[in-house]
């Protein structure tokens, strides 16, 4: 299984600011995924990041709010822009190397917006 490192592990941010979350994988992977888990809720897919192309966003998520970079096959970033308290969530990076393979998660970033 892939080893996924996310940072920061947690942060408290002021509303109106932005936070960039980094995700590093110990092996090259085709697809990387970003999920959000709001308090007491399950995981919701934000976007899929494929190296060399723009990220694909799920309904309800837009690039201006959650810009994503995927500069190479082992790294991705998610930025939460112009934050509000409603953005307080755990953000999780996941990798999936291909069809019928399991998805593994980083340890997550717990974001609190005040």
Partner 1 sequence: QKEVEQNSGPLSVPEGAIASLNCTYSDRGSQSFFWYRQYSGKSPELIMSIYSNGDKEDGRFTAQLNKASQYVSLLIRDSQPSDSATYLCAVNVGGGADGLTFGKGTHLIIQP
Residues forming contacts to partner 1 in the complex (CB under 8 A) are: 1, 30-31, 33, 35, 41-45, 48, 58, 90, 92, 94, 96-108, 110
**Based on CB atoms, which residue is closest to partner 1, 16 or 54?**
54
Least Å from the CB of residue 80 to partner 1: 17
Give me the least distance between CB of 110 and partner 1, in Å please: 8
Q: What is the DSSP letter of 47?
A: E
Measured CA to CA, the distance from residue 91 to residue 52 in angstroms comes to 23
* Dist. CA 33–CA 79, nearest whole Å: 13
The number of beta carbons lying within 10 Å of the beta carbon of residue 46 is: 24
User: What residues have CB less than 8 Å from 67, skipping those under 6 apart?
Assistant: 78, 79, 81
Nearer to partner 1, 14 or 30 (CB): 30
Give the Cα separation of 88 and 38 in Å (integer).
Answer: 7
Cβ distance to partner 1 smaller for residue 17 or 102: 102
Nearer Cβ to partner 1, position 14 or 100?
Answer: 100
Could you tell me the smallest distance in angstroms from the CB atom of residue 25 to partner 1? 14
């Amino acid at each position: 299984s892939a080893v996924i490192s996310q940072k920061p592990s947690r942060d408290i941010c002021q509303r109106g600011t932005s936070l960039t979350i980094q995700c590093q994988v110990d092996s090259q992977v085709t697809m990387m995924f970003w999920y959000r888990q709001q308090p007491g809720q399950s995981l919701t897919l934000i976007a899929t990041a494929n190296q060399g192309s723009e990220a694909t966003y799920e309904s309800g998520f837009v690039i201006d709010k959650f810009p994503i970079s995927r500069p190479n096959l082992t790294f991705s970033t998610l930025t939460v822009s112009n934050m509000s308290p409603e953005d307080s969530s755990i953000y999780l990076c996941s990798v999936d190397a291909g069809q019928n393979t399991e998805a593994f998660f980083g340890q997550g970033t717990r974001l609190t917006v005040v």
